[in-house]
Amino acid sequence: MEDSRFQVQLLEKTEQIEMLLKNYLPAEEGFQKTVLEAMNYSLMAGGKRLRPLLMQETYKLFGGDSQVILPFMAAIEMIHTYSLVHDDLPAMDNDEYRRGRKTTHVVYGEAFGILAGDGLLNYAFETALTALDMPQADAARVGRALSVLARKAGVYGMIGGQTADIEAEEQAAPLTKEQLLFIHEKKTAALIQAAMMVGAILAGASEKAVSKIEKCAYNIGIAFQIQDDILDVVGDSVELGKPVGSDEKNHKQTYVTINGLEQSRKEVALLSEEAVTILADVEGENEFLTKLILMLINRRK
Ligand code: GRG
């Protein structure tokens, strides 16, 4: 697939996800209107929509072709958005900008930053559960998909990673490789794994194939996080929609501060290529998905 065709498809698919999210937005009404507004403000602030995209493409890779995937695509973006809203709170990273505009707690106040995050997390599961109302739904697959989503977002996944990350900030001694990998795996890769595994499970992939997807997504997640740390050093704040240099400002130890830029770039390329090799080993083919993974190596935002 040519680069220009890939770019056109990427844009089209991202726009379709924007429309999908709009369709799933809760109505801003009632006495709880403010929290609903804050949720919608953060969800519709843009972003690459990478997780729903990876979910949809993995679903297609395994031959999935029904609407059942749609509520799950919206749900994973809601979970991802909640994590960003909470990560920006004064008690965590205390950031003012996200996705090119003021972050939720700056616009709505801290209490609504907390509530909007809580609201998005819960609403994600309410949304995913609507898959069961669809005549095409296979209840056992939906159940397995929900279980993966809950676990990878929870204390054994993203929340666990965030915990280790916050504690690591207080640590003066250099982080061990094991510590750093734990943080990256749980904080970043877990949700990417959930996205791809849910796609595979809903399409009816075998357990063996789901395990391969879990490993593939692990590589993508670690590469994605290292690239995120690289962009914090060499990226452009306008393109990124958030300030750069925050890791240095916060004296944060990252793969880049520990191993340097050159080694980090090599690692991103290596991990991404390995992810593509694993993908080539499962049944089915999805050229767009392969291109998407390779594109992440060179992403600038
Ligand atoms: C608060 C439980 C809790 C978790 C927070 C997601 C997260 C964990 C923290 C945000 C900071 C960060 C660097 C997370 C690692 C994952 C990551 C690179 C998120 C940004 O994802 P993108 O680049 O964002 O896909 P967009 O805005 O494009 O959706």
Ligand 1 pocket check for 60: Cβ under 6 Å = no
How does pLDDT run across 38-82, given as a tens digit for each residue?
999 999 998 999 999 999 999 999 999 999 999 999 999 999 999
How does pLDDT run across 95-153, given as a tens digit for each residue?
898 988 999 999 999 999 999 999 999 999 999 999 999 999 999 999 999 999 999 99
C-alpha 55/C-alpha 158 separation (Å) is 17
Given ligand 1 and candidates 41, 51, 83, which is best to mutate, with the most ligand atoms within 8 Å of its CB? 83
- pLDDT recorded at residue 240: 82
Q: What are phi and psi of 137, to 5 degrees?
A: -65, 140
C-alpha 240/C-alpha 300 separation (Å) is 7
Residue nearest to atom 4 of ligand 1 (CA): 83
Given ligand 1 and candidates 14, 41, 43, 84, which is best to mutate, with the most ligand atoms within 8 Å of its CB? 84
Task: Give the residue among 175, 64, 178, 77 at the shortest CA–CA distance from 123.
Answer: 77
Residue nearest to atom 3 of ligand 1 (CA): 83
Q: Please check whether residue 79 is in contact with residue 120, taking contact to mean a CB–CB distance below 8 angstroms.
A: yes
Ligand 1 pocket check for 50: Cβ under 6 Å = yes
Ligand 1 pocket check for 47: Cβ under 6 Å = yes
**pLDDT at residue 24 is higher than 90:** yes
Give me ligand 1 centre to Cα 187, in Å: 8
Residue corresponding to tokens 């949809």 = 56
Ligand 1 pocket check for 212: Cβ under 6 Å = no
- pLDDT recorded at residue 286: 94
Give me ligand 1 centre to Cα 121, in Å: 14
- pLDDT recorded at residue 41: 98
Residue nearest to atom 5 of ligand 1 (CA): 83
Given ligand 1 and candidates 81, 86, 188, 231, which is best to mutate, with the most ligand atoms within 8 Å of its CB? 188
C-alpha 64/C-alpha 229 separation (Å) is 34
Mean pLDDT, to the nearest integer, of 236-264? Answer: 87
Give me ligand 1 centre to Cα 28, in Å: 26
Ligand 1 pocket check for 51: Cβ under 6 Å = no
Q: Please check whether residue 98 is in contact with residue 88, taking contact to mean a CB–CB distance below 8 angstroms.
A: yes
Mean pLDDT, to the nearest integer, of 250-279? Answer: 93
C-alpha 239/C-alpha 231 separation (Å) is 10
**pLDDT at residue 298 is higher than 80:** no
**pLDDT at residue 250 is higher than 80:** no
Quick one: CA dihedral 124, 122, 47, 181, positive or negative?
A: negative
Ligand 1 pocket check for 42: Cβ under 6 Å = no
